[in-house]
Amino acid sequence: MKEFTHIDKKNNPCMVDISNKNETFRSAVAVSEIWLPEVVRKQFKEGDIQSKKGPVFTTAIIAGTMALKQTSSLIPFCHQLNIEGSKIEIDLKNEHAVIRCEVRTFGKTGVEMEALTGAQIAALTIYDMCKAFGHEMKIENCQLIEKLGGKSDFKN
């Protein structure tokens, strides 16, 4: 029977003890999408919007990268990790901006939460920078699509 990992025997929240684990290569890929109404999509020229706040996708990539490095400060029981590599890509596909965030490290625990955080914060940054055109945008389909390393691998 599976049990929650972040609850001790007395049902108190706790950080998982990874002190006895070996360091291994870990990676994760997460994707998030933001639906953009036509009025926002019309602003894009050659892949990015040049707004008064700066280039939207470029800024979202920077924000997502900054956020993924701060995941342990945002999510109470995430371990602080030394991120050894990350890459965020944003592509306009039909009515959506699709954000793909990959994170890599060599450590005792995985980087799934970092990848998910990077993808979501990039989406939120796009929303923030485009909201002058309306609030109809929708952040959708945030999911982990791949995890390598640790006890098990995952691919969706």
Average pLDDT score over residue span 121-131:
96
Residue 128 designated active-site: yes
Q: What is the pTM of this model?
A: 0.91
**Which long-range contacts (C-beta less than 8 Å, at least 24 apart) are formed by 62-66?**
63/121, 63/122, 63/124, 63/125, 64/88, 64/99, 64/101, 64/117, 64/118, 64/119, 64/121, 64/122, 64/125, 65/118, 66/121
What pLDDT digit, counting tens, does each position of 51-85 carry? 666 789 999 999 999 999 999 999 999 999 999 99
What pLDDT digit, counting tens, does each position of 88-116 carry? 999 999 999 999 999 999 999 999 999 99
Q: How confident is the model at residue 6 (pLDDT cuts 50, 70, 90)?
A: confident
Q: Which of 8, 17, 128, 153 is catalytic?
A: 128
Q: Give the chain's domains with CATH numbers.
A: 30-155 (3.30.70.640)
